[in-house]
Structure 1
Amino acid sequence: MNTETKSNFEAVVFDLDGTLLNTLDDLAASMNRVLESHQFPSHPVGSYLHFIGDGARMLAQRALPEDQRNESNIRKLHHAFEQDYRDNWGVATKLYPGIAEMLDHLIKRGMKLTILSNKPHEFTLTTAGHFLANWNFQCVFGQREGVPKKPDPAGILEISQELSIPPQNMLYLGDSGVDMKTARAAGCHAIGVTWGFRSQEELLENGAENLIETPNELFPLIDSLQA
Structure 2
Amino acid sequence: MKFKGAIFDLDGTLVNSLEDIADAMNSVLRNLNYPIHGYEDYQYFIGSGLRNLVSKSLPESHNDKKNIDSCYHLMIVEYRDNCTRKTTSYEGIIKLLDHLISQNIKLSVLSNKADALTKEITTALFPNYFQSVVGLTTEALKKPNPSEALAISKSMGLKPEEIIFLGDSGIDMQTATNANMFAVGVSWGYRPKKELIENGAKQVLDHPLDLIQFL
The match for 2:194 is 201
The match for 1:106 is 100
Find out whether 1:63 has 2:57 as its counterpart.
yes
The match for 2:67 is 73
Distance 1:157 1:147 in 2: 15
Q: How does 1:1-227 map to 2 (within 5 A)?
A: 7-133=1-127, 135-145=128-138, 148-222=141-215
Does the Cα contact within 8 Å between 2:173 and 2:184 map onto a contact in 1? Answer: yes
What's the offset of the Cα at 1:68? 2.0
What's the offset of the Cα at 1:136? 2.6
Give the aligned residue type for 2:95. Answer: E
Percent identity of paired positions between Structure 1 and Structure 2: 40
Does the Cα contact within 8 Å between 1:192 and 1:212 map onto a contact in 2? Answer: yes
Superposition RMSD in Å = 1.0
Moved over 3 A (4+): none
1:137-166 CA distance string (max 9 Å, x none): 111000013761100001111001111101
Q: TM-score, normalised by structure 1?
A: 0.93
List gaps (5 residues or longer) in structure 1: 1-6, 223-227
Structure 1 stretch displaced more, 61-70 or 42-51: 61-70
Structure 1 stretch displaced more, 35-44 or 168-177: 35-44
Q: TM-score, normalised by structure 2?
A: 0.98
Does the Cα contact within 8 Å between 1:172 and 1:183 map onto a contact in 2? Answer: yes
Give the aligned residue type for 1:128. Answer: T
Give the aligned residue type for 2:184. Answer: I
Structure 1 stretch displaced more, 161-170 or 65-74: 65-74
